Structure 1
Amino acid sequence: MSENCPHEDWDPMDPAVGADYVAAFKDLQKRCPVPWSDQFGGFWSAMTYADIADVCMHPDRFQNAEQFTVPHLDLGIPWLPLQSDAPRHQQYRGVLQPKLAKRRMLTLESDMRELARTLLEPLAERGSFDGAADLAQPFAGQALCLALNFPRSFWNTFFGWNRGITKAMQTADLALLQSVLGDISGYVATEVRARRDDPGDDFLSTLLATRIDGRELTEQEIVGYYLLLMSAGHNTSADSLSHAIVHLARHPEDRARLRAEPEILPNAVEEIVRFYSPLLALGRRVGQDTELGGRELKAGDQVAVVWAAASHDTDHLADADEFRLDRPVAKHLSFGLGAHYCVGAELGRLQLRIAIEELLSHFDAFTITGDLVKTTWPTNGYLSVPLSAARATVSSSPAPGGGVAGR
């Protein structure tokens, strides 16, 4: 810890902070925009839009290869492509870019919509369900598996690993995380042997065909891709959708407006991601002694990049604390910034749009019927959203070009 900050400025694990992150962030932006916390071995936090942009645009000073989360999830295997720096980062990232590009996402819309309907139909029959556990989490996982061309026979295995990683991160259970890592490593070792002589068009075959600095990926690097996809790749989309469900349950006027004005849904999707920030923070390791927001940081210090605070920085966006369903797309940091901008952003947008369209098509109304269970730092979503829903009395379909047809 640097000598110029001899006391703790905040604790992200304080229940009072967890109860209202936005209030805590806004207080810190005013009195201590680069605060120190003693949690997780001690770390700084970038809280303002300007300071976060400074961190993201200077990867020489704030590095990802050593650390990408606070707390540091060190399993001895890099979580790829996020846990890497230039020049290799672009090579690692390039594996995913073609599969997650906007043009390809649009070709998946019909199949992705069918996934949503298959989940929603039995929920509509039941009338009560959990919006997070029964819809947001499975839909996000299925959409990701579809986008990356995972074979259907592998989907349930993927979901099982994801549940294990999510639970381990929520409970700081390193033993569980290591157990999941062992399962993934065993799967990769077996499948690599099988695919080398008989490659297909699935994601693992793509990884086997990849070359980094002219060489094949190691099995550890392949495992690293699976680790990241099952955590950041899945959970951020699930958490965005759970926030959308909670918001629309609490704001029937917004449900009505989206039905009446389906053309504003892309704006609403962007605003949900901006306003509710499905990921509170990621991390960096300070690569060299530097200054940030007037504080002196030392090489080796941990830094949390608090995306959710930037979303409510009124110095950047004057009405940042106002949720506007039709807000013109505003520059926000919920998908990141710079070289590590979320490679799956277009997939996330498409998932959220389709899920909202189908949710509004299947239900005339839905209300929260019990206690919401939120995730904890550094994620920002819901583990449970109990709902009671009134099935749509007249079937409706997405309007041409996207959106929800009026009744």
Structure 2
Amino acid sequence: MSETIPVLRGADAHRVIDPKVYGNWTAALDMFDRLRRESPVVRVENDEFHDPFWLITRHEDVMRISKDNATFLNNPRPVVFSFRSAIEFAKAVTGSNMLVDSLVVFDAPIHMKYRRLTQEWFMPKNLKLIEAEIKALAKKTVDRLIEAGPEADFVQTVAAPYPLHVVMQILGVPEADEARMLFLTQQMFGGQDEDLNKSGRAEMTADQITQLVAGAVKSFEEYFAALAAEKRARPTQDVASVIANATVDGAPLNDRDMAGYYIIVASAGHDTTSASTAGAMHALAQDPEQFARLKADRSLLAGVVEEAIRWSTPVQHFMRTAAEDVEIAGQKIAKGDWLMLSYVAANHDDSVFADPRRFDAARSPNRHLAFGAGAHQCLGLHLARLEMRILFEELLDRIDAIELAGEPKRANSTFVGGLKTLPVRFQTTTG
């Protein structure tokens, strides 16, 4: 057991939490490769603006922590990296360390009670019932791409609107409100990026970002309070009605928990799939031979989907709090310590993934951690895979070739990230 604590300070400590580093994907991967080699478990101590935390970069350790939900808690500290001022703001506004309380932040036993409320909606058996609707949406989406062609921004035309429309149909949000849902999601998850937060400011302070995100959360809460009231008065066959009329331990959900449930389904249910979808197309547009093989042999499609999710890693980290003293990779972690699980680093660990930066549709096994693991594994993983498979089946039927038409740009975001632009040029089957 090591008696010397490895500590990251200065520029490196800042880079771990710098959204602009994540916007430069190669730089981020270079950083995590180096840190994983030098100190796979390292304490990050930067400045007075954030509390120290342990950075975990090895696949083995991230997997272990993700699966041990008794030793490593999602509460009471924030489950997403936050500056001290943001935590204090959340406490003042909500009484909690987080602006939103949802499935993501609950621990046992309440977590599973809440998860069970909607879990069946996102299981393969139920998704089979809506597969025809998803296929119809995929067709409309590809229609839109072809109409915009032969050059288009794949993110704006396909990757962003398609999963948004799917999850809003499942949730029960009217199509007329989808643009608002996208805008609020981008402000909440992309608050650090001037293009996504719509501020136009390339540089924003932590306090400014907190205020912007808080405003998005408040707008979400107001919208879903009205939707819940409507679904209680006139329930329909959708997830919004399930949440509005649910009871846990014999009592209805309180307003805060209900709002958090709606927000996590509405936002995480599409933003991450959008990133993976754009990632898949980015890889295929750079590799005409792989695109041609996939077009000829659709049995490769499941591998493309899974590899895109690993390669893109839309959820870049989650935080955990040690419930007791524990040892990880020879380092003593004290009860109450905060840990950052870097899914980006874990999904590019070359001890698990050969040549991890290469997009390999035939990669097997592909034990990526993009959906998490353990009790908190992503509720919508089956939906994400289904959406992507159906969309790419439609794309492959109607597009003969595709290539990049410019330089893609990735979001500047520490938490949820992915391509924000992907200019492509394509040829359709009709020429």
**CA 1:379/1:184 → structure 2, altered by over 3 Å: closer, same or farther?**
closer
- The answer to whether the aligner puts 1:331 opposite 2:342 as a matched pair is no
Letter in 1 for 2:350: T
The one of 111, 127, 143 aligned to 1:105: 127
Map 1:8-407 to 2 at 5 A.
Answer: 8=9, 10=13, 11-12=15-16, 13=18, 18-20=24-26, 21-38=28-45, 40-66=50-76, 67-71=78-82, 75=90, 76=94, 77-127=99-149, 128-170=151-193, 173-318=209-354, 320-375=356-411, 376-393=413-430
| Structure 1 vs Structure 2 CA RMSD | 2.5
Alpha-carbon displacement from aligned partner over 1:264-298 (angstroms, at most 9, x marks no partner): 21122112212332222111122333322222323
Partner secondary structure for residue 4 of structure 1: coil
Alpha-carbon displacement from aligned partner over 1:10-38 (angstroms, at most 9, x marks no partner): 42228567442222222222110012334
Structure 2: 5+ residue stretches without partners? 195-205
* Cα pair 1:130 1:385 within 8 Å, conserved: yes
Could you tell me how far 1:254 is from its partner in structure 2?
0.9
**CA 1:16/1:301 → structure 2, altered by over 3 Å: closer, same or farther?**
same
Partner secondary structure for residue 160 of structure 2: helix
Alpha-carbon displacement from aligned partner over 1:130-183 (angstroms, at most 9, x marks no partner): 111221011121121123343434434423322332342546622222222222
Structure-2 separation of matches of 1:328 and 1:45? 27
Letter in 2 for 1:160: F
- The answer to whether the aligner puts 1:4 opposite 2:11 as a matched pair is no
* Cα pair 2:55 2:339 within 8 Å, conserved: yes
Structure-2 separation of matches of 1:242 and 1:263? 20
Could you tell me how far 1:105 is from its partner in structure 2?
1.8
Q: Percent same amino acid at aligned positions?
A: 26
Alpha-carbon displacement from aligned partner over 1:48-104 (angstroms, at most 9, x marks no partner): 121112211222321113322123775434442111000011011112211110122
Q: Please, which moves more after superposition, 224-233 or 329-338?
A: 224-233
Letter in 1 for 2:79: F
The answer for the alignment partner of 1:405 in structure 2 is none
Letter in 1 for 2:37: K
Structure-2 separation of matches of 1:266 and 1:4? 43
Structure-1 separation of matches of 2:38 and 2:373? 25
Partner secondary structure for residue 139 of structure 1: helix
**CA 1:319/1:156 → structure 2, altered by over 3 Å: closer, same or farther?**
closer
Structure-2 separation of matches of 1:204 and 1:16? 37
**CA 1:277/1:124 → structure 2, altered by over 3 Å: closer, same or farther?**
same
* Cα pair 2:240 2:262 within 8 Å, conserved: no
* Cα pair 1:165 1:230 within 8 Å, conserved: no
Structure-2 separation of matches of 1:353 and 1:126? 22
Partner secondary structure for residue 50 of structure 1: helix
* Cα pair 2:229 2:244 within 8 Å, conserved: no
Q: Please, which moves more after superposition, 346-355 or 325-334?
A: 325-334
**CA 1:232/1:302 → structure 2, altered by over 3 Å: closer, same or farther?**
farther
Alpha-carbon displacement from aligned partner over 1:235-276 (angstroms, at most 9, x marks no partner): 210110110111111011111001111112112211221233
**CA 1:82/1:390 → structure 2, altered by over 3 Å: closer, same or farther?**
same
* Cα pair 1:314 1:321 within 8 Å, conserved: no
The answer for the alignment partner of 1:397 in structure 2 is none
Number of corresponding residues: 393
Structure-1 separation of matches of 2:186 and 2:369? 27
* Cα pair 1:140 1:238 within 8 Å, conserved: yes
Structure-1 separation of matches of 2:359 and 2:188? 32
Letter in 2 for 1:70: F
Alpha-carbon displacement from aligned partner over 1:180-236 (angstroms, at most 9, x marks no partner): 222222223333334333322232221122222221101111110122234332221
* Cα pair 1:278 1:379 within 8 Å, conserved: yes
Structure-2 separation of matches of 1:278 and 1:197? 37
Letter in 1 for 2:344: A
* Cα pair 1:150 1:203 within 8 Å, conserved: no
Structure-2 separation of matches of 1:122 and 1:321? 31
* Cα pair 1:271 1:329 within 8 Å, conserved: no
Q: Please, which moves more after superposition, 83-92 or 182-191?
A: 182-191
* Cα pair 1:99 1:148 within 8 Å, conserved: no
* Cα pair 1:91 1:212 within 8 Å, conserved: yes
- How does the TM-score come out when normalised to structure 1? 0.88
Letter in 1 for 2:211: A
- How does the TM-score come out when normalised to structure 2? 0.83
